Amino acid sequence: MDQLLLDIFQAYYDARCNKRNTLSQLAFELDFEHSLFELYEELKTRTYEIGQSICFIVSDPVKREVFASSFRDRVIHHLIYNYIYRLFDRHFIYDSYSCRLEKGTHYGIRRMDHFIRSCSQNYTRDCYILKLDIKGFFMSIDKEILKQQIAEKLNFW
């Protein structure tokens, strides 16, 4: 079996983790093998096109717009992530936790506790934390500059 096809199946299993009850995932799963083979053919023939995102508003912790990809596109996101993770991970600062192996929310909480203990001398002094959200940060990123930086890391594009 072709390695790309195996990688697409792995990406599918990765993508459905924590998404098992979403409408998009459930619809995809009705005929997932056909859908994965279809993705495989589109990638092989270079005809894959990104689908339409779903936009919705969340209000926790602050009110903001969220653009969610279709489940089909999430499979492709995971496929790409699985290919490039090792290339990029070593360039991230140590205390970056999202979407990183051996890290995540619980590890981040333990690290924060470590820093609070250290700063407060084991809770004997006051310690302050700043939590902030930069409005429109991701929407303001220059996509062409980002593509150029990614291309330099991947050494192709």
User: Tens digits of per-residue pLDDT, 61-90?
Assistant: 778 888 889 999 999 999 999 999 988 898
Residue 112 lies inside a defined structural domain of this protein? yes
- Quick one: pLDDT band at residue 157, thresholds 50, 70, 90? very low
Looking at every residue in the chain, the average pLDDT score rounds to: 91
Clarify whether residues 119 and 79 are in a common domain.
no
- Quick one: pLDDT band at residue 156, thresholds 50, 70, 90? low
User: pTM here?
Assistant: 0.79
Q: Which whole-number Å values give the CA distances from 117 to 32, 93, 104, 114, 124, in the listed order?
A: 48, 21, 20, 5, 9
Residue 38 lies inside a defined structural domain of this protein? yes
Q: How far apart are CA 14 and CA 79, in angstroms?
A: 9
- Quick one: pLDDT band at residue 37, thresholds 50, 70, 90? very high
Q: Tell me which residue range forms the domain holding 115.
A: 93-134
Q: How far apart are CA 60 and CA 72, in angstroms?
A: 26
Clarify whether residues 3 and 77 are in a common domain.
yes
Clarify whether residues 79 and 97 are in a common domain.
no
The answer to whether the beta carbons of residues 81 and 15 sit under 8 Å apart is no
